[in-house]
Chains A and B, each alone.
Chain A
Amino acid sequence: MGLSTVVISVVHGVLWGIILGAASTGLTLLWGVMKVVNVAHGEILLIGSYLIVILYAFLGLSPYIGLLASLALGLITGLAIYWGMLHKLVGKVEKVTLKIEMSTLLIMFALSVALSNSYYHFIGSEPKGLGLWHFGLKSSIDIGSVVVRTNSILAAIVAVIIVAALHLLLTRTTLGKSIRAVMQDAQAASLVGINPVRIKMLTTMIAIGVTTLSGFLIVLHETAIIPGTALIYTPLAFVIVVLGGLGNVLGSFIGGIIIGLIYGLSKAIIALTFNPLASAPLALSTAFIVLILVLLFKPEGLFGR
């Protein structure tokens, strides 16, 4: 009984971790490249989730179309966020000082307040989800003694695809190399003919686009989402990004898996030794204690240079 609890908890934790890792890549780009402390990350994730749910539930469109629509909406939102909010703060700046970083934090904070209250007002606080849609397959898969929902497994597969695509984009294309150049030294990049403003705009678009796209994973994993879902994904994304190192896409993917593993393990241990009812909140608190420890002892991340 004890061992199987641990196995089940760890398998679910790792699947969630893969999804968390993919959902945090947008933040690592935005924070690492642009020094924009996006505290509205969870709310932006939900833009994608809600778009897919609304298209499916009210217009009857397949979630695959919703997936494309959420990417498109994300790119447009990124463009709007860049020109409406970020350009004035970081657009022309070569070295982002602490003060500017704090301004970006405050403005994204304002965005998160506006967005989350828009969800409450226009969509409502009832749980919304894709109902019985699970890729047209069986609803759950048995692996030995562990039963996993199809949606969680397929969401994890989609998550791997998203991270792989983003990684290839950043390492194999000219655009990706320009983005990494601007991340390392904006001034030097502009000397070799890279337009930092254009790159920053594109980075914002890609980061926000990947984030809204990952909203699909959240809605699959959570089954149903409420506006409050953002409250848990924003801080966890920061934990993961710090763990993986700022701007390191693969790092945050692995960081996500580590956090999922820690969550699953500590949940099982607390459930077995203390009380099952207290296990979920206490397991989440371990994730945040890990954050503080990593910040203190290895602020450059586990895979930092």
Chain B
Amino acid sequence: MGSAKGTVKSYIGKPTPILILALTITVVFARIFNVATLDTLVIFTYFITIAASLNIIMGFAGYVSFGQCVFLGIGAYIYALSIYYVPWMNTLQKIGGEGIIIVGLFASSIAALVAAVVGAVVLRLRGAFFAIATIGLDFAAMYIVMGIVPFINPEQFYGAQVILPSHCLVDKSATFTAMLITMITVLVTNYLIKRSKFGMGLVSIREDEDAAEVMGVPTARYKTLAYTVSALFTALAGAIFYLNGGGVYSEAFDLAHTVDMIVMIVIGGLGTVLGPLIGGVIYYWLYDTLLIHYPGVNLIILGIIVALIILFAPEGVVGILRKYEVRGVRLREILE
């Protein structure tokens, strides 16, 4: 940091941008050389995207949002219904990755709008009360969707399933491109937030909200903004992910999605930029290996691993790493 702070030079040479770049290149190469299937790559990038989007509200601002999946669901449903009913949106998303992003941004900005309205009210609650309220929000939204969606088109949407007809489906390489762009954007956004005044404000809210308020941090505005940005990316990821799957089910509101996100950032390290990235890679690897070698008990093992991490290494991988020194320089200074 020091004198070069704020200049382009200070950003280069830090591991965070380099790792984001390295990850991107690896994923692109894996795609070009067919090391991994497109489906695997979409899931991999999706995991990192949702973890990094939750990190904005849960990691930086310290608000445990259990109902993050509500935005995943809203994004996925609005996207699917838009391309189902609006022909020009369907044409637009067929252009390729950028088309999907544009239609996806439409769906996710509605989710972000919901987040802004709801957040302005619900974010007055703190700690467990906020977490519980977001669970309530998720269930309320899920049951409303389950009650309403079947009546939009009783023959097609039985049980609130929106299965996309073949003329709405896109090539998997297009969804992959869209997800990759989203992942890079959300990681860079995390990095920029962390380095900005806004990010510092969020961290001060996490450490002591009352003190932050007294010191002149516009806590209410910052929290709502963080919640909205977080919702925007979650909804975008959800829209692309369910498009890739070929249809949306009420399962999109399943708290299991929040499980994925929370587990990843807890493994990686809460409130760090590299946390969701490293956590996402580890979680994906764990998820994949456990699924292959111990099908059925994989999530049981995962639950136990998470419990052990919370008990014995609550600061996560990045939190542990930054305590160590390399050649006299504390890793903390390099990592952040």
Binding site for B on A (CB under 8 A): 31, 37, 39, 85, 88-89, 98, 101-103, 105-107, 109-115, 117-118, 120-121, 231, 235, 238-239, 242, 270, 275, 277-279, 281-282, 284-285, 288-289, 291-292, 295-296, 299
Contact = CB atoms under 8 A, between A and B. Distances in A.
Contacts of B297: 117, 121
B259 A288 contact: no
A118 B301 CA distance: 10
A295 B129 contact: yes
Interface in B254-304: 255, 259, 262, 266, 296-300, 302-304
A282 B147 contact: yes
Most buried by A among B146, B148, B311: B311
Contact of B140 (A39, A102, A107, A292): A292
Contacts of B330: none
Interface of B: 62, 64, 66, 121-122, 124-129, 131-133, 135-137, 139-144, 146-148, 150-151, 255, 259, 262, 266, 296-300, 302-304, 306-307, 310-311, 314
A113 B309 CA distance: 14
Contacts of A107: 307, 310-311
A235 B311 contact: no
A114 B300 contact: yes
Mostly, the B contact residues are: helix
B306 A110 contact: yes
Given A98-B127, A109-B306, A295-B136, 9 more contacts: A98-B62, A102-B62, A106-B262, A110-B303, A111-B307, A121-B296, A238-B132, A278-B147, A296-B124
A284 B300 contact: no
**List of 5 A-B pairs having minimum Cβ-Cβ separation, nearest first:** A114-B303, A285-B143, A113-B303, A288-B140, A278-B147
A109 B121 CA distance: 25
A88 B139 CA distance: 32
A85 B311 contact: yes
A284 B122 contact: no
Contact of B129 (A112, A279, A299): A299
B11 to A, nearest CB: 31
B6 to A, nearest CB: 31
Contacts of A278: 147-148, 150-151
13 contacts: A85-B311, A115-B303, A242-B129, A275-B151, A278-B147, A281-B144, A285-B141, A288-B136, A291-B132, A292-B137, A295-B129, A296-B121, A296-B122
B257 to A, nearest CB: 13
Contacts of B128: 31, 37, 101-102, 105
Given A109-B262, A121-B296, A299-B125, A285 B304 contact: no
Nearest to A295: B133
Nearest to B306: A110
Contacts of B306: 106, 109-110, 113
B122 A292 contact: yes
Contact of B310 (A106, A121, A292, A296): A106
Contacts of B132: 37, 238, 242, 291, 295
B209 to A, nearest CB: 9
B289 to A, nearest CB: 16
